[in-house]
Structure 1
Amino acid sequence: MTPALAFNDLTLGYDRLPAVQKLQADIAEGSLTAVVGPNGAGKSTLLKGVTGAFAPLQGKVEFGALNRDDIAYLPQQSDIDRAFPLSVVDLVAMGLWREIGPFGWLGRKQRGRVEAAISSVGLTGLESRPIGSLSGGQMQRALFARLLLQDARLVLLDEPFTAIDARTMADLIAVVRNWHREGRTVLAVLHDAETVRAHFPETLMLARELVAHGPTEQVMTAENQFRARQMCEACAGPPHVCGREVA
């Protein structure tokens, strides 16, 4: 079967200093995969590399069954400017930008889809609320509603369950599992091992380099987690100290 994504000797980084090095892995179409590893392991960098935000220093990201037009990407909440004057409905409607363009207007059908997405994440009644006034959980619900409207075959989530309440987390995990049932490919950066084990059948463990990739119960072992910490600690200083600088 053609994979959704193939990382072929992929090296990503900043100013020629790698954050991810020589990654070789295939992500199966329709898979639900957690990306795990210690802080500084290159997890967020990997997702940005898939979106095309970073050009590879070496190697490449190949889209087998998919392409970059099929991507919906959720960054960390800390990367989002919540001071921008947008309402919930404005934010969610941005999920239709490919359909209506940056200056398009919403017809009756599109407005119905926006309302349905807002309802599906439990935000009915908050459509006019400025996003700057939302709680962390409400903001994440709104961002998931925007993802729903993008209707993408590949969904990238960067720490989607951080700093939200348990009910919101359960509701959003249900959305993710529904994407999986629909055959979409989901790649999510996560920190909580129990969430990974409970809900993500596949796991890719990074420590700048690949530690392990495969079924979660085989990857999330104490031995692999210890090895990942050791690998990141060994390269905690400037990358050239570890011989990582790309010529």
Structure 2
Amino acid sequence: MTDKTIRLKNLTLGYDRHPAVHHLDGEIAQGALLAICGPNGAGKSTLLKALTGVLKPMGGAIDFGAARPRDIAYLPQATQIDASFPIDVFDMAAMGLWRRIGLFGGMKRADEQAVRDALAKVGLSGFERRPIGALSGGQAQRLLFARLLLQDAPVILLDEPFAAIDERTVTDLLGLIAHWHGEGRTIVAVLHDTELVRAHFPDCLLLAREKIAWGPTKAALGPENLGKARRLIEAFDDSAAACDRVA
């Protein structure tokens, strides 16, 4: 099997020359189930954007190994989805097939069935022609997971997948994540709920613009580490001078 370990090498990320994450080293092993935790402003979503390839490093590098861009599927925060966009549930889910059939490729009967099957797996059978703006928060998140199912990617990145959704949906989507993990896929999720992380994610990166801890969740989320992360973020000065880009 081709190794798709992702290696972070002295990675520094930021915007307008202001670092949001700096000097981060570590490895995301193929098949990992990793949570990224930390206080607000810790750089969690910034790191996830870099892993998608959208945000380029200010310094250091991300070595994707054998992983290609098409191997990575990304679920953004729900607030980044425009619910007013005129598209129905079926067509939104079908966007997960675009790498396979192309932006302008016609869908075959098997593709249409694959979309219906993915919607069934997330509990949205019968919603196919409903506008996405008519969905509840939990239903919208189920739809995004259906789209991920259709992408069928070996690396899955999730940015706050359980924010503002009901408990039943959280349970169902956790079951889907566990299924993906059992298939050997690499899953990285930005999460705030440390109790949920302790219960379902064996490994954790605790971030506070720098690595506080990275390893087994129980140790990474220990009281001393959590306190250190909180103090670092509270002490951070957003008005600090910009830094020069590191070559």
- Segments of 5+ residues of structure 1 without an aligned counterpart are none
The one-letter amino acid of 2:243's match is E
- Cross-structure match for 1:36: 37
For the pair 1:206 / 2:207, whether they are aligned, the reply is yes
- In the alignment, the residues of structure 1 paired with residue 20 and residue 103 of structure 2 have an alpha-carbon distance, to the nearest angstrom, of 33
Task: Determine helix, strand or coil for the equivalent of 1:129.
Answer: coil
- In the alignment, the residues of structure 2 paired with residue 236 and residue 16 of structure 1 have an alpha-carbon distance, to the nearest angstrom, of 14
The structure-2 alpha-carbon separation of the partners of 1:2 and 1:107, relative to structure 1 and needing over 3 Å to count, comes to closer
- Cross-structure match for 1:158: 159
Which deviations, in whole Å up to 9, do the C-alpha atoms of 1:1-45 show, x marking residues without a partner?
956211101111101111111110101110100000000000000
- Cross-structure match for 2:135: 134
- How far 1:100 moved relative to its partner? 1.2
TM superposition score normalised by structure 2: 0.96
- In the alignment, the residues of structure 2 paired with residue 238 and residue 80 of structure 1 have an alpha-carbon distance, to the nearest angstrom, of 30
- In the alignment, the residues of structure 2 paired with residue 134 and residue 111 of structure 1 have an alpha-carbon distance, to the nearest angstrom, of 21
Are the counterparts in 2 of residues 18 and 246 from structure 1 also a CA contact under 8 Å? no
Are the counterparts in 1 of residues 212 and 225 from structure 2 also a CA contact under 8 Å? yes
- In the alignment, the residues of structure 2 paired with residue 239 and residue 146 of structure 1 have an alpha-carbon distance, to the nearest angstrom, of 40
Pairs aligned (count): 244
The one-letter amino acid of 2:10's match is D
CA RMSD of aligned residues (A): 1.3
Are the counterparts in 2 of residues 29 and 65 from structure 1 also a CA contact under 8 Å? no
- Cross-structure match for 1:246: 244
The 4+ residue runs of structure 1 with deviation greater than 2 A are 244-247
- Cross-structure match for 1:147: 148
Which deviations, in whole Å up to 9, do the C-alpha atoms of 1:142-196 show, x marking residues without a partner?
0000000000010000000010000000000000010100000000000001110
- Cross-structure match for 1:106: 107
Are the counterparts in 2 of residues 38 and 207 from structure 1 also a CA contact under 8 Å? yes
The one-letter amino acid of 1:245's match is C
The one-letter amino acid of 2:139's match is Q
Task: Determine helix, strand or coil for the equivalent of 1:72.
Answer: strand
Are the counterparts in 1 of residues 77 and 159 from structure 2 also a CA contact under 8 Å? yes
Greater mean deviation of Cα atoms: 88-97 or 230-239 = 230-239
Task: Determine helix, strand or coil for the equivalent of 1:160.
Answer: coil
The structure-2 alpha-carbon separation of the partners of 1:228 and 1:246, relative to structure 1 and needing over 3 Å to count, comes to farther
- Cross-structure match for 2:71: 70
- Cross-structure match for 1:8: 9
Quick one: percent identity of the two aligned structures? Answer: 55
- How far 1:52 moved relative to its partner? 1.1
- How far 1:64 moved relative to its partner? 2.1
- How far 1:223 moved relative to its partner? 0.6
- Cross-structure match for 1:51: 52
Are the counterparts in 2 of residues 29 and 185 from structure 1 also a CA contact under 8 Å? yes
- In the alignment, the residues of structure 2 paired with residue 239 and residue 210 of structure 1 have an alpha-carbon distance, to the nearest angstrom, of 20
